Amino acid sequence: MKCIILAAGYATRLYPLTKNTAKPLLKVADRTILDHIVTKVEKVKAIDEIFIVTNDKFYQSFVDWSEQYQGSKSVSVVNDHTTTNDNRLGAIADIQYVIEESGMTDDVMVLAGDNLFDFELSDFSDFFTKVGADCITVHELNDPEEIKRTGVVEVDDDGVVTSFEEKPAEPKSNLAVPPFYIYQKETLPMIKRYIEEGNNPDAPGHFVPWLIQHKDVYAYLFEGQRYDIGTVESYERVQERF
């Protein structure tokens, strides 16, 4: 299994903090957000290589980080060659870029580079192995306003996703979808097809409602907290929490 960490955004909502620092390289409790994530990736035995996809502006910063990395996984930093928020590829297009650049033919875990979380990715990987299908993560979110700002799914009794809505005005469940996914190697060509059909290449969650029309996708329900660092206020809250 490979791991792709999405780190090609420009995080304009966090300015001035991210004007000259990539969001995944901001510090939380004396460690970068990326360090926190990679510590979890380290525990997934199936993963042998981590791809960090970033933009031209922050490429060297991630190369510098990778040169200091002392973990057990192979790390590659991929430059998508975008330079501003206006010409960014979008997360799904970045996933496809890494697949093409690397010639990837393995199962792949995809993670946003700006989320911290309590659960173990090794448990998520074990679930993926058990169900033998593409998987997303879900957690219960009972704040009626907060859940309107995320992806929301319905699942059947077997845990198969039956519907997905991004930022719904009237959520159909309390199951929120953070940006952590595992796709089978057989699914990788479908990402290219999704893009070629003219679908939204931006937020990684947009791929899921399209995918569930073509094959079963299972939801892994995790417990514990998840922290999406998208604004200065959310970053300050995470700093306090950690």
Q: Per-residue pLDDT tens for 8-30?
A: 999 999 999 999 999 999 999 99
Residue 149 has pLDDT above 90, yes or no: no
What pLDDT band is residue 87 in, cutting at 50, 70 and 90?
very high
Structure tokens at 98: 């890494």
pTM given for the model: 0.96
Give the pairing type, strands 115-117 and 175-177: unpaired
Percentage of the chain beyond pLDDT 90 is: 89
pLDDT (average), residues 63-74: 96
Segment 140-144 shows an average pLDDT of: 91
Q: What is the CATH number of the domain that holds 32?
A: 3.90.550.10
Residues 196 and 90 sit within 8 Å (Cβ to Cβ):
no
pLDDT band at 1 (very low <50, low <70, confident <90, very high): very high
User: What does the pLDDT read at residue 205?
Assistant: 85
- Its domain, for residue 162, covers 2-241
Q: What's the pLDDT band for 122 if we cut at 50, 70, 90?
A: very high
Q: How many domains does the chain have?
A: 1
At 108, the pLDDT band (50, 70, 90 cuts) reads very high
Rounded to an integer, what distance in angstroms lies between the CA atom of residue 73 and that of residue 62? 15
pLDDT in tens, 154-184: 999 999 999 999 889 999 999 999 999 999 9
DSSP string, the chain: -EEEEEE----GGGTTTTSSS-GGGSEETTEEHHHHHHHHHHT-TT--EEEEEE-TTTHHHHHHHHHH--SSSEEEEEE----SGGG---HHHHHHHHHHHHT--S-EEEEETTEEESS-HHHHHHHHHHHTSEEEEEEE---TTGGGGSEEEEE-TTSBEEEEEES-SS-SSSEEE-SEEEE-GGGHHHHHHHHHTT---SSGGGHHHHHTTTS-EEEEE--S-EEE--SHHHHHHHHHH-
Q: Give, in order, the Cα–Cα distances in Å from 136 to each of 121, 123, 239.
A: 12, 13, 27
